[in-house]
A and B are shown apart, each in its own frame.
Chain A
Amino acid sequence: MKFLSKCYIGLIFFLLYIPIVVLIVFSFNESGSLAEFSGFSFMWYEELFHDEEAFSALRNSLVLAVSSAAIATVLGTFGALGLHRMKRRYIKQPIMTLTNIPMMNPDIVTGVSMMLLFVAVATFLDTRDLFGFGTLLIAHVTFNLPYVILSVMPRFQQLDKSLSEAAQDLGCTPSKAFFKVELPEIIPGIVSGLMMSFTLSLDDFVISHFVSSPNFQTLPLYVYNQTAHNVKFSMYALSALIVAVILVILLVVNFAGSAADRKSRKGGRS
């Protein structure tokens, strides 16, 4: 039985990761063909590093991911705090549902509606340069927000109410109690929300496709548009690098989350 279950796990992981493995292996292929593996080389990586367009797209993507994740995390944390403090259930529940809608919504619906909104605003303001970094940032913050709230909210709910009350008993002002007592407890939720939004924003294609402009191309858009004719092999290298980055970030998130958990548990015991 144990052997069988191991086989099963092995099979599932094999199916999950084989496409990525193939991509990574062939990004090192010298001949630039999927037909045969002619030799190990960094040729496509080298070409990639000379591809200025790809690099400016990568830079744009990173800038966008960092800034949208940062803004979404700040807004989302305060949003979760507000939701947590809400007393009336009949208001709290509908608002929770409303914040979840952008998450459930298909990307394409969010993307098209965002585009229509921005086009309407652009006509209203009579400007032609509305689209670009600004619109992308707004769109990315919008779809990141529910994920931040989703990961911060449970931390608030786990929070022992009496802790904050004790702090206030001992002379803290309410805001001081929040920052000194509550915030350190919810930090793991905030960090995972931040990382989650960062990866989501880095990945996003559909929504970005609708709200971007030629002034500000993100990496997924750039890669997709390269596929019109035969795909450049440096794109394999690029995709392999993206996978590596995402992997590192996820590892960091997991370690950060579990380390913080352990720390807080220890603190609780002593």
Chain B
Amino acid sequence: MNKRFASLLLALLLLALPVLGLVSCDDGVGDTVTLYVYNWGEYMSDGSEGTLDVNEMFEEWYYETYGVRVKVNYSTYSSNESMYAKLSSGSVHYDVVVPSDYMIERMIAEDMLAELNYENMPHIGNIHPDFFGPDAIYDYYDPDNKYAVPYMYGMIGIIYNTTMVEADDPSLGSWQLMWDERHTGNILQFNNSRDAFGTAQYFLGLDVNSSDEAEWRKALEKLKEQKHVLQGYVMDEIFNKMENGSAAIAAYYAGDFLAMYENNEDLEFFYPAEGTNLYVDAMCIPKTSRNKEIAEAYIDFMLTEAPAVANAEYTYYASPNTVVRENEEYIEYMNSIKEGGYELMYNTDTVWTSSYKNLGGEQLIMFNELWEELKSDIQVGLPIYIICAVILVILIGGGTFLGVRKKIRDRY
């Protein structure tokens, strides 16, 4: 074999091989246990911009307390559904996941979550009694408190730009603002089926978990009615659109409002009087976990003061943890973002709320069909088809014309 080529080949293979070794060394070095944590993106204090790195804190704390080295492998997902898909595919195994309420219900129903042993969680009492325990109001997703420990919660409200919406606007304080024709082209609606239907259901005073198709239809009609005043259906784009004033009104989560307010102080926020949605994200341990006790220690660690405050300050979402809520420094921090920021997040007893429950199979199909129906008759469709058809006709016509001309010329 030619020497030069052989060495090239060898070099290529050698390039690949050490990598294999390097990678397989990464997990399970010596006595280190790896704890796999799967959380929402940007949902835990990670040490960026001078915040606390809570995972590193846990690793240190665990080593000091139990003498075992734990490495937290922290990875993130961007929706409940993608987390569920990953977990149920069986290709990966996580020790701690943080799904939202309706997804927890579904995972409990499908027997994917492990029962927690609260003896390993001495700080469970830090959770506010409204969220955990026998008198809890907001533990609808896990009424027996067997599987989930609340991590963060939030409420939907309406964000509006005070330079574009007058302070004496009669629609302020109500979902009516999202349907107001005077703000046509400046309103943003959720591009998330459950939340979008929620806005109409709360406005009409319907049950968000209704099993009656007629009620869902009513909400659909209301949403169709709203279509011509909307600028669009959006999710993350909402941050930029509200911050740079290209939209005036949007429904979104209270915590995210504070993040937007940091960049644009003209924004204001209210919880609609008709009622709104409250959701809870909670920490759970999947059945496939191999280190359940360490996972329980991890969940418990996140309930203690320093990490819990760090996480609440990092995410801006409301914490169900009393230690956080009563922390002076935290209250000051929330109020430094916006005057009355703390009140906005926690003084919400007067707001009527309800929560989304997991929809059963048939209901889910019906619901998805309704959502399709809403999104499908978007007006942009037809012109695009016409443009495509015209281009196609020109191409075919031009081609045949050239072909025919060439043939005629060739004949002579």
Contacts and interface: CB of A to CB of B under 8 A. Distances in A.
B75 interface: yes
Interface string A60-98: 000100110011011000000000000000000000000
B23 A133 contact: yes
B43 A229 contact: yes
A134 to B, nearest CB: 8
Interface stretch (A4-12, A13-21, A176-184, A242-250): A176-184
Given A74-B13, A115-B91, A133-B23, A228 B76 contact: yes
B345 interface: no
Nearest to A66: B15
B41 A225 contact: yes
Main secondary structure of the interface of B (DSSP, over half): mixed
Interface string B21-51: 0111011000000101010111100101100
B244 interface: yes
Interface stretch (B1-9, B198-206, B333-341, B390-398): B1-9
Interface in A134-187: 134, 137, 175-176, 179-180, 183
Interface stretch (B103-111, B178-186, B256-264, B381-389): B256-264
Contact of A119 (B48, B90, B259): B90
Interface stretch (B116-124, B215-223, B235-243, B371-379): B235-243
Contact of B42 (A134, A216, A228): A228
Contacts of B264: 35
Given A53-B46, A132-B23, A180-B2, A67 B73 contact: no
B93 A179 contact: no
Given A35-B263, A118-B91, A214-B73, A133 B2 contact: no
B36 A214 contact: yes
A128 B91 CA distance: 8
B15 A228 contact: no
Contacts of A225: 41, 75-78
Given A179-B5, A227-B236, A131 B43 contact: no
Contacts of B9: 74
A53 B74 contact: yes
Given A31-B263, A70-B12, A74-B12, A227 B38 contact: no
Given A34-B240, A34-B244, A213-B91, A226 B15 contact: no
A226 B89 contact: no
A231 interface: yes
Interface in A40-68: 47, 50-51, 53, 63, 66-67
A123 B23 CA distance: 22
A228 B243 contact: no
B380 interface: no
A67 B15 CA distance: 7
Interface string B86-104: 0001111110000000000
B20 interface: yes
A264 interface: no
Q: Which of A33, A211, A216, A225 counts the most chain B CB atoms within 10 A?
A: A225
A215 B27 contact: yes
Given A35-B263, A47-B49, A70-B15, A131 B23 contact: no
A255 interface: no
Interface residues of B, number: 51
A262 interface: no
B2 A179 contact: yes
A35 B91 contact: no
B16 interface: yes
A66 to B, nearest CB: 6
A32 B243 CA distance: 11
Given A36-B244, A47-B48, A229 B26 contact: no
A136 to B, nearest CB: 10
B245 interface: yes
Contact of B244 (A35, A63, A115, A176): A35
Given A35-B245, A50-B48, A51-B48, A215 B26 contact: yes
B13 A131 contact: no
Main secondary structure of the interface of A (DSSP, over half): helix
A210 interface: yes
Contact of B256 (A32, A53, A226, A229): A229
Contacts of A51: 48
A217 interface: yes
B309 to A, nearest CB: 19
B16 A70 contact: yes
Given A35-B264, A67-B16, A213-B92, A175 B40 contact: no
A115 B91 CA distance: 7
Contacts of A226: 41-42, 76, 78
A133 B20 CA distance: 8
B319 to A, nearest CB: 16
Contacts of B75: 214, 217, 225
A34 B243 contact: yes
A270 interface: no
Contacts of B77: 225, 228
A36 B240 CA distance: 10
Given A47-B49, A66-B15, A230-B239, 10 more contacts: A34-B244, A53-B74, A63-B22, A119-B91, A133-B23, A210-B89, A226-B76, A228-B40, A229-B40, A229-B256
Interface of A: 31-36, 47, 50-51, 53, 63, 66-67, 70-71, 73-74, 115, 118-119, 122-123, 128-129, 131-134, 137, 175-176, 179-180, 183, 210-211, 213-217, 222, 224-232, 234
28 contacts: A33-B240, A35-B245, A35-B264, A47-B48, A53-B46, A66-B16, A67-B16, A67-B19, A71-B12, A74-B13, A119-B90, A119-B91, A128-B290, A133-B23, A180-B2, A183-B5, A213-B91, A215-B34, A222-B76, A227-B78, A228-B41, A228-B79, A229-B256, A229-B315, A230-B236, A231-B239, A232-B48, A234-B48
